[in-house]
Amino acid sequence: MKEQAKLHFANLDILRFTAAFYVLAAHIFDYTTEVYKLPSWLFKNNEIVYPENLNTLGSFVNMFFKNGSFGVDMFFLISGFLITSLLLREKSKNSTIDIKSFYVRRILRIWPLYYFIVFFAFGFAKFYTHEEMHLRDLIPHLFFVGNFSMIHALSWCSGKLFILWSICIEEHFYLIIPILLFLVPIKRLPWLVVALILVSIVTRIVLFKMYPYPWFPIYLHTFSRFDVLAIGCFLGWLNFNQFKFQLPIALRWLLLVGLFIFMGVFSVRFYDTFFYAVFFKYFYIIPSAILFYDLVINVFPTFSGMFNSFFNRLGKYSYGIYMYHPFAIIFCNNLANQYFNQSKIAFALLSILCTVSVAFFSYEVFEKHFLKLKSRFEKI
Question: What is the distance between the alpha carbons of residues 298 and 320, in angstroms, rounded to a whole number?
Answer: 27
Which pLDDT score, from 0 to 100, does residue 7 have? 61
Q: What percent of the chain has pLDDT over 90?
A: 80
Question: What is the distance between the alpha carbons of residues 176 and 198, in angstroms, rounded to a whole number?
Answer: 17
* Mean pLDDT score, 64-86: 97
pLDDT in tens, 350-371: 999 999 999 999 999 999 999 9
Q: Which of 48-62, 135-149, 187-201, 297-311 has the lowest mean pLDDT?
A: 297-311
Cβ density class 268-288: b for 16+ within 10 Å, e for less: beebeeeebbbebbeebbebb
* Mean pLDDT score, 225-230: 98
Residue 344 has pLDDT above 80, yes or no: yes
Prediction pTM value: 0.94
Task: Report angle CA 349, 352, 358 to the nearest 5 degrees.
Answer: 135
Which has more confidence, 294 or 2? Answer: 294
Helix (H, G, I), strand (E, B) or coil at 43: strand
pLDDT level of residue 300 (50, 70, 90 thresholds): low
Is the separation of the CB atoms in 276 and 122 below 8 Å? no
Question: What is the distance between the alpha carbons of residues 290 and 285, in angstroms, rounded to a whole number?
Answer: 9
Residue 4 has pLDDT above 70, yes or no: no
Residue 378 has pLDDT above 90, yes or no: no
* Mean pLDDT score, 54-82: 97
CA-closest candidate to residue 146, choices 121, 127, 125: 121
Helical axes 70-94 vs 165-183, angle rounded to 10°: 30
* Mean pLDDT score, 230-243: 97
* Mean pLDDT score, 72-80: 98
Q: Read off the amino acid at residue 183.
A: L
CA distances from 26 to 29, 188, 225, 375 (A): 5, 39, 20, 35
Residue 376 has pLDDT above 60, yes or no: yes
Counting Cα atoms < 13 Å in the Cβ hemisphere of 42 gives: 16
Which pLDDT score, from 0 to 100, does residue 8 have? 72
Q: What percent of the chain has pLDDT over 70?
A: 96
pLDDT level of residue 153 (50, 70, 90 thresholds): very high
Question: What is the distance between the alpha carbons of residues 322 and 250, in angstroms, rounded to a whole number?
Answer: 32
Residue 343 has pLDDT above 60, yes or no: yes
Question: What is the distance between the alpha carbons of residues 188 and 301, in angstroms, rounded to a whole number?
Answer: 35
Residue 1 has pLDDT above 80, yes or no: no
Which pLDDT score, from 0 to 100, does residue 6 have? 47
Q: How far is CA 153 from the centre of its chain?
A: 23
Q: Which of 82-86, 123-127, 191-195 has the lowest mean pLDDT?
A: 123-127
Question: What is the distance between the alpha carbons of residues 356 and 145, in angstroms, rounded to a whole number?
Answer: 28
Q: What are phi and psi of 54, to 5 degrees?
A: -65, 140
Which pLDDT score, from 0 to 100, does residue 304 have? 54
pLDDT level of residue 140 (50, 70, 90 thresholds): very high
Q: What are phi and psi of 43, to 5 degrees?
A: -120, 155
